[in-house]
């Protein structure tokens, strides 16, 4: 038995019980481990969906150029699909992203333009603005626009949600996921809620992002916006793919707690996951007191630890940020809860 190409291996990712890091919580906690996708992240799913929907709509034509502002994982999915399908890729990203992520995109032949992080989205230097300009300038190009493209959430409505429903035999009670574009949480939640409207949906946000305040007050508060370290989640604007009606609440996790919990996942569970998995588990620990014995929680682990070797898996990086001295304390705090 074989697959016709690497894209056919996307999806059907494993659900794995967490046995140590969440032991202080009631209920069963399962991680949906998206690292087995060919690009090592959940974003492969929506990348292929966006491309195929664009092909079907006549927006992306043979020999065309795919353009996107991406923090790496979406770019990886798009780059792999572009290799298989014969497109050129140009990505804009920010100088906050791991060097490993950028090098990985280039490994697949994509062109990557690195833009400054600390400018407004409307600033002509921002990675949003540069990608929009390139789309206008380059003939036969198509911008994937993961933030507002409905194919993003649709991929998770059609694939990730049904997988989770089937794998838990419909017994899932809580969904926990980091929120960036919102595609993952909104698509999965839509599918699950159609099956069981009682399922709780908890979005994980970062300090420096607007989501939590917006959900709680309906106000887009610019004072919430400041630079942060955690990658992949939190935003300084409201993407169309975040369906606030499907998300019961947002929980913010600090950069330090997210980084240290990411390390704990490797050390205690043997799961080598990315920064947003640590953030999601930490958010669950912050919120989890309300869980009951028969609750079944699914936490999304979006990407792989290899992308963060220069960051939370690097002791110098941790030390420079004053995170390392807290590592033992975090372990103790976790065990005590």
Which of 274, 278, 283, 305 forms a contact with ligand PMP (CB under 6 A)? Answer: 274
User: Does the active-site annotation cover 328?
Assistant: no
- Site for ligand PMP contains 184 (CB under 6 A): yes
Q: Which one, of 271, 289, 283, lies nearest residue 230 by Cα? A: 283
Catalytic residue among 32, 43, 154, 311: 43
- Asked if 182 touches ligand PMP (CB under 6 A), the answer is yes
Between 168 and 184, whose beta carbon lies closer to ligand PMP?
Answer: 184
3-state helix, strand, coil in the chain (%, to 5): 45, 15, 40
- 179: contact with ligand PMP by CB under 6 A: yes
- 49 lies in the site for ligand PMP, by CB under 6 A: no
Quick check: 337 and 289 in contact, CB under 8 A?
no
183 binds ligand PMP (CB under 6 A): yes
Give the DSSP letter string of 82-101: HHHHT-EEEEEEETTS-HHH
Question: Does 269 help bind ligand PMP (rule: CB under 6 A)?
Answer: no
Q: Determine if 149 is a binding residue for ligand PMP (CB under 6 A).
A: no
Tokens of 165: 């429903």
CB of 181 to ligand PMP, least distance (A): 3
Backbone angles phi, psi at 313, to 5 degrees: -95, 10
CB 268 within 8 A of CB 23: no
Which residues from 214-233 bind ligand PMP, rule CB under 6 A?
231-233
Phi, then psi, of 92 in degrees rounded to 5: -110, 140
**Residue 181 touching ligand PMP (CB under 6 A):** yes
Query: What is the number of H-type helices and E-type strands within the chain?
Result: 12, 10
Residue with smaller CB distance to ligand PMP, 268 or 311: 311
CA–CA separation, 147 and 68 (whole Å): 10
Residue of 190, 303, 318, 334 interacting with ligand PMP (CB under 6 A): 303
Contact 159, 165 (CB under 8 A): no
For the chain, how far is it from start to end, CA to CA, in angstroms? 47
User: In angstroms, what is the minimal distance from the CB of 259 to ligand PMP?
Assistant: 13
Q: How far is the CB of 61 from ligand PMP (least distance, A)?
A: 27
| Cβ atoms 7, 76 nearer than 8 A | no
Which residue has the closest beta carbon to ligand PMP?
A: 232
Tokens standing for residue 314: 């690097």
- Contact positions with ligand PMP (CB under 6 A) in 69-128: 71, 73
Q: What are the Cα distances from residue 324, in Å, to 97, 195, 213, 250, 314?
A: 21, 44, 30, 27, 10
**Of 39 and 64, which CB lies nearer to ligand PMP in the complex structure?**
39
Of 103-111, 182-190, 192-200, 255-263, the window that binds ligand PMP (rule: CB under 6 A) is 182-190
* CB of 42 vs ligand PMP, minimal distance in Å: 7
Alpha-carbon Rg for the chain, nearest whole angstrom, is 19
How near is the Cβ of 34 to ligand PMP at its closest, in Å?
9
Residue 31 or 64: the one with the smaller Cβ distance to ligand PMP is: 31
Task: Please tell me whether residue 302 binds ligand PMP under the rule CB under 6 A.
Answer: yes
Catalytic positions? 43
Residues that bind ligand PMP (CB under 6 A): 43, 71, 73, 178-185, 231-233, 274, 276, 302-303
């Amino acid at each position: 038995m074989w697959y016709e190409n690497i894209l056919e291996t996307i999806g059907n990712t494993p659900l794995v019980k967490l046995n140590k890091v969440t032991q202080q919580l009631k209920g069963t906690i399962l991680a949906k481990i998206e690292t087995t996708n060919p690009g090592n992240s959940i974003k492969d799913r929506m990348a292929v969906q966006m491309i195929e929907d664009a092909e079907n709509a006549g927006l992306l034509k043979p020999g065309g150029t795919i353009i996107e502002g991406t923090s790496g994982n979406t770019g990886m999915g798009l780059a792999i699909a572009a290799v298989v399908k014969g497109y050129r890729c140009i990505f804009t990203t920010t100088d906050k992203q791991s060097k490993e992520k950028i090098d990985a995109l280039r490994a697949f032949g994509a062109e990557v333009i690195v833009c400054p992080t600390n400018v407004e989205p409307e600033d002509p230097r921002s990675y949003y603005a540069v990608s929009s300009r390139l789309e206008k300038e380059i003939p036969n190009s198509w911008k994937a626009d993961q933030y507002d493209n409905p194919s993003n959430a649709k991929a998770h409505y059609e694939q990730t949600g049904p997988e989770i429903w089937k794998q838990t035999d419909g017994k899932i009670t809580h969904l926990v996921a980091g929120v960036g574009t919102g595609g993952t949480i909104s698509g999965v939640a839509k599918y699950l809620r159609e099956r069981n409207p009682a399922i709780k949906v908890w979005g994980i946000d970062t300090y420096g992002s607007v989501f939590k305040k917006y959900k709680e007050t309906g106000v887009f508060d610019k004072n919430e916006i400041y630079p942060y370290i955690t990658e992949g989640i939190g935003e300084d604007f409201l993407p169309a793919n975040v369906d606030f009606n499907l998300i019961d609440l947002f929980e913010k996790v600090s950069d330090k707690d997210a980084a240290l919990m990411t390390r704990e996942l490797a050390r205690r569970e043997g799961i080598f996951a990315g920064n947003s998995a640590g953030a999601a588990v930490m958010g669950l620990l912050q919120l989890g007191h309300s869980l009951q014995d028969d609750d079944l929680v699914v936490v999304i682990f979006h990407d792989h630890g290899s992308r963060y070797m220069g960051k939370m898996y690097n002791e110098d990086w941790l030390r420079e940020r004053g995170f390392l001295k807290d590592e033992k304390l975090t372990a103790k705090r976790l065990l005590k809860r």
